[in-house]
Every structure is written in C-alpha cells, then in structure tokens.
Amino acid sequence: MIDLLREIGQTLRNNRLRTTLTGVAVAWGIFMLIVLLGAARGVVNSFNDSMNETSTNTIVFWGGYTSQPYRGYKEGRQITLKGGDADALMRRNHDVSKVAAFASVDTAKIASERGVVSGGFQAVFEDAVREDHLEMLAGRFINGRDIAEGRRVLVLSDRDASQLFADAGSAVGKTVRCMGLAWTVAGVFTHPWRTQSYAPYTTYKAVTGNNDNAYQLTVTVENLRTEEDGEAAESALRATLGTEHGFAAEDNSAVWTWNRFISYLSNMQAMTYLNLAVWVIGIFTLLSGIVGVSNIMFVSVRERTHEIGIRRAIGAKPRSILVQILAESVAITAIFGYIGVFLGMVVLQVLSMFLGDSNGFKNPTVDISIALQVTVALIVAGALAGLFPALKAIKVKPVEALRDE
C-alpha cells in the first residue's frame, strides 16, 4: 500500500500542470453540484417551514355565486357561508375533526383614550394564529376559553397598538372601546402586512345580533393519504354545503375552494423533481471533469507503456497494474473533488449569511448525508474515469511494451 501511494504521488508530481488543469475541471463540477444541492435544500427547507406553519390536511371554502339553476333557484345566486355549517360538515363527514369559521367587521372602530383606529376586526377561532402566520409580541392570542365563554377580548396588531397606546407592549390587559362596548386587549401581534385586529368568533355573533355569516370555513380532515383521498373529501364537503345552501354539488363556482392537502402533495412532488434536476445537472457538470481525468489516464498509460512492459516482464500481475491505474484516477478525482466540496460549502455559508431566511431561501447548506452521497459519487466517478485506461494497460503484451519507444 505504501509503495502504491508513493507511485501515485510520483506520477502526480511528474505531471503537475496536466494534473492540475484536469483537477480544476473536477473541482468545478463538484463545486457546482454542492452549490446546486445546497440551493435546492434552501428552497425545500423554506417550503417545509411554510407547510409546518399551516395545516396541510385542511380544505378552505369561500362563498361564491351559482353558475347553474338548482331546484327552482336561478343561476347567479350568491352563496353566503354560515358558522353553523360547521355542525353539518362534522355530522355528515366522519373524517372531519375540526371546522373553523372566519368573519369580519370591517366598519368597526377601536378607540382608546389616546387615539382611534379603523379597519374593524376579524372573528376567528384559536387556530388563526397559525393559519395567518402571526408572531405574538406580547400577551396571547385568542384561546379556547375565549371562544367558549364569548369573552370580549381583542388581539391588536403592533401598528394599531402603537397608535392606541404609548407603547405597544403596554397594551396587554388594557381596555378599548369597539362597537359601543368595552374590550380587553389580550395580546399584540406582528405580521408583514396583516393589521386587522382579531376577536373570538362567538363574541362576534353575540355583539352582531347572532349574525352567523362567515366569509371563510377551514375544514380539517383526517386520514388523507393520496390525492384521490383529498379529491373525495373535497367532493363530500362540497355536497354537504350544497345540501345546506341549495346548490348543485358539481357547481364549482357556488363555493370556491383551496384544497391544501392536494397543493401539499403537488408541492412535494415539485420538490422531488427539483432535487432530481439538481442531481442530473450536477452529475453532467461533473462528467465534463471526469472525461478530462479519463483522457489524462489514457495519456499516462501511453507514456508509461515501456514501464508497464518491464513490470509485466518481471512478474507483475495484471491486477496490480489495474489497481495502480484505478488508484491514480480515484486520487486525482478525490483530491480536487474535495477542494470543490470545500469551496462549495464556503459559498453556501456566505449565501446563508447574507440571504438569511428571506425570499423562500432558508439554511442553504448540505448535511452529512449529502456529503456521503458526494463521496460515493467521487469514488465511482474516479473509478470509471480510470477503468478504460486501466483495461488498456493490462492488455499490453510485455514483449511489445519493451520494444515501444
């Protein structure tokens, strides 16, 4: 083994320029593969985080307009969803575990001794903090007891809290006026663009004269595994709403839907294709360097024909010649390949430092599993690059090799 390593080192030192130029091509291929894999991982991480923040087994419904007559009703009729639809959806669909209604009072004003803000509030259930990606700065969001007891509590945006109170953080626990009633501020949230306040849905019904109109229903469905399951669940829920509101189940414009489960499956498939495309592009880029290594090994075999002949003449077995050529090829590929890996990791760390978690790009780094995969790719690529030159070397006849000049 030591003799083999010495021979490999001697060969590389004797052909420094040629080896370096060939190795640069290998390093570039590996560098591009690592950067592409890291970038793809950043996109996948961002996608997974966004999926974790929302429930993927939910189907969202909004009221629409009928597009066809149904049981004496004309087309063009507006369908307004009700919070009470939740009972029918859960009663007639056994896999439904939860239904959340969303309503809005846009004209209400919220006032304190310091100021007044307009925009009203949204009436929601406790899951809205996750569904709307809200970050709580102070206090808490609406909870189950608020819903059960119909408490008059509000969760303000940081912008509104700053206008109503001297300090947004000090708003929690204080009282504001809305719709002629006193409300307690339960918490303060921040969001890039959401500024409307939140109130319990049951409280909304109480203060609006038992108004049960809802602009959105979010239905959580269990036991969804395939796209067919998602489509079947959506059809069953649409049929239930059709029975409640008098429209045909196949009338797609009567209620508008967003099947998050099917969207999740589609996005997961897209992420799989993205990873596959990155590997294909990276491997083809790497192949350009591998071809260079193979050509170098062919030239090396041609230049060492006389040496190979002498070794064969004094009893060297073809296997030892084969191992030496393959080892030299793997050495060139591995040395420069790991240079490419190192540079690629450095670039990914710089990208992560400057881009952070913004623009759908989170933690664009490669983990140990990717490093192991690249290591295997390097070994296989190096072996393939040296295979054909090695096979040519062992076919050299000792007598012909000794005569070769």
pTM of the model: 0.69
Strand partners, 178: 110, 181
Distance CA 388, CA 299 (A): 12
pLDDT in tens, the chain (405 residues): 565 556 656 655 666 766 777 777 778 877 887 888 888 877 777 777 666 656 788 999 999 999 999 988 899 999 999 999 999 999 999 999 989 999 999 889 999 998 999 989 999 998 888 888 899 999 999 999 999 999 999 999 999 999 999 887 789 999 999 999 999 999 999 998 889 999 999 999 999 988 899 999 999 999 999 999 999 999 999 999 999 999 999 999 999 999 999 988 888 888 888 778 877 877 776 676 677 667 766 766 666 666 666 776 777 677 777 777 777 777 777 788 788 888 888 888 887 777 765 556 677 777 667 767 777 776 777 777 777 777 776 676 665 555 554
- Answer yes or no: are the C-beta atoms of 189 and 143 closer than 8 Å: no
Strand partners, 213: 82
Distance CA 377, CA 383 (A): 10
Going through 149-235 in order, the beta strands assigned E by DSSP cover 153-157, 175-178, 181-190, 197-200, 213-214, 216-221
Which contacts of 65-71 are long-range, i.e. CB under 8 A and separated by 24 or more positions? Answer: 65/253, 65/254, 66/247, 66/248, 66/251, 66/253, 66/254, 67/251, 67/252, 67/253, 67/254, 68/248, 68/251, 70/246, 70/247, 70/248, 70/251, 71/246
Please tell me what DSSP assigns to residue 68: S
- Answer yes or no: are the C-beta atoms of 333 and 381 closer than 8 Å: yes
